[in-house]
Amino acid sequence: MHGLIAPHGGKLINRLVDAATAGKLKSEAQGLPRINLTPKQSCDLELIGNGGYSPLTGFMGKADFESVCTKMTLAGGDVWSIPVLLSVDKSKAPKVGDRVALHAPNGVLQGVMTVTETFPHDKKLEIPNVFRTEDPAHPGAAKVLEEGDTCVAGPVDVLTLCVDPEGPEAFLDMRLTPIQVREQFKQRGWKTVVAFQTRNPIHRAHEYVCKCAQEIVDGLLIHPLVGETKAGDIPADVRMECINILVANYFHPEHTLVSVLPAAMRYAGPREAIHHAIMRKNYGCSHFIVGRDHAGVGNYYGTYDAQAIFDEVDGDNLGIRPLKFEHSAWSKKYGGMVSQKSFPWTEGDIINLSGTKVRDMLKAGQRPPAEFSRPEVADVLIKWAQSTG
C-alpha cells in the first residue's frame, strides 16, 4: 500500500462490473422489477460501487441499520455513523431472493441488486439518533420522512458510476475513485494526506486551516462534495470554478490535489463529520480537517459538537486522525489570519462577515474584503449571485 492508510474494514470494495458483465446485466435488467432511486440513493450507490463506502457491498440490512443508529458501528463492530438505506414504498417492495434493477433519477440503469432482506424503515429510530432532532424542518430529517417505509438490503453490482457524464456536476476529470486517488498519492510519493471537506467555496479561513494542516503532512486533498445538496446551497459547478481558481493561484501544485466526492449531504453535523472522515480514509487520507460546525445547518448543533464526537468513537478502528480547528478569521491588529486559540479576538478587530451580508454584497456587485475572500473567488461568486437575481 506504499504506506497509505488501509481502507475502512481493511479492504477496498469495488462493485463496479466490467464491460462484458455490464452488457449481460443490461439485458437481464429489461425483465427485472425496477426501483427508481432518489438523488441521495443514487449518490450512495456510486459510493458503494467505487469503494468510498468500504466495507459496504450493498445497501444496509436491519442489523447494520439498528447498530449504526444506536451504537455508531456496523453490526460487525466497525465505526459507522450514517445509515445507508434503500427504502421504497411498501407496495413496491420486492421479495427476498428477487433481483431488481436500480435506475438513477435521470432514468439511467445504475445497478442491479440481489435482495437478501427487507425490513421496516424505522424512522423514529433513525431521525433522532442521526440528526439529534426530530424537527421535520431539518433538511436531512425531511429527506428521511419523504423516503419509503420498507428497506431493501443486499449486494449490488454497479454498471456506471457517473450516471450523467454531460451534467454540470460530472467533473469527469476530477471524479476520481478511491483507487484512482490512492494511485495519485503513490505517484506523488505521499504517505500522509489531509482531506478538506467542503460544500461551499473556500474563503480565507478555510484556506488558512488547509495551509496549517499542509505543514504536518505530505499532501492536501481538497475534496468538495458534489452530490445532492439542499436548495439555497451554491451550485457545484460554481463552487468548483472558485476552488480551481483559488488552487491555481494560491496553493502549491506539488502538494495539493483536487478531486470531487459524489456524496449527498445529510446535514447531520457531528454524525456526518464521522461519515465524511470514513470516506476520506477509503480515499487514502490519513488526516481529516474538522472545523467549526462541520456539516451543520441552522442552529441544530453546537459550534464544536462535530469535533467532540470523535472522542466518542473507537479512534483505532476509525483510523483516520481528525485535525480539529478553531474558528479562524483575519485580525487587523495582528495583520493576518488567526484562530480563537492563537490570538485574542476583540470587537472591531476581526473581519468576520455573516453569510447573509456576503450574499448581499455579491448581489450588489461588491467584493467582500480581500481579508475574507480572495478577489478572484469573489468575482466568480458575483457573477453567479447576479445571475440568480
Where does the chain have alpha helices with state H? 19-29, 39-50, 62-71, 123-131, 139-146, 178-188, 204-214, 236-250, 270-282, 305-308, 315-318, 355-363, 375-387
Environment class of 187 (CB within 10 Å of its CB; exposed 0-12, middle 13-18, buried 19+): exposed
The residues that bridge with 197 in the sheet, in sequence order, are: 223
Place of cell 442521526: 130
Residue 358, classed as helix, strand or coil, is helix
Residue 226, classed as helix, strand or coil, is coil
Residue 11 half-sphere exposure toward CB, CA atoms < 13 A: 6
Is 200 among the residues known to form the active site?
yes
Catalytic residue among 175, 199, 239, 271: 199
Query: Beta-carbon neighbour count of residue 98 at 10 Å?
Result: 16
For the CA atoms of 359, 361, 362, 366, the dihedral, rounded to the nearest 10 degrees, stands at -170
Rg over alpha carbons for the chain, rounded to the nearest Å, is: 21
CB 36 within 8 A of CB 105: yes
Euclidean distance between CA atoms 188 and 209, whole angstroms: 22
Catalytic residue among 14, 200, 244, 352: 200
CB 186 within 8 A of CB 285: no
Euclidean distance between CA atoms 254 and 348, whole angstroms: 38
Euclidean distance between CA atoms 290 and 310, whole angstroms: 10
Is 199 among the residues known to form the active site?
yes
Catalytic positions, please?
Answer: 199-200
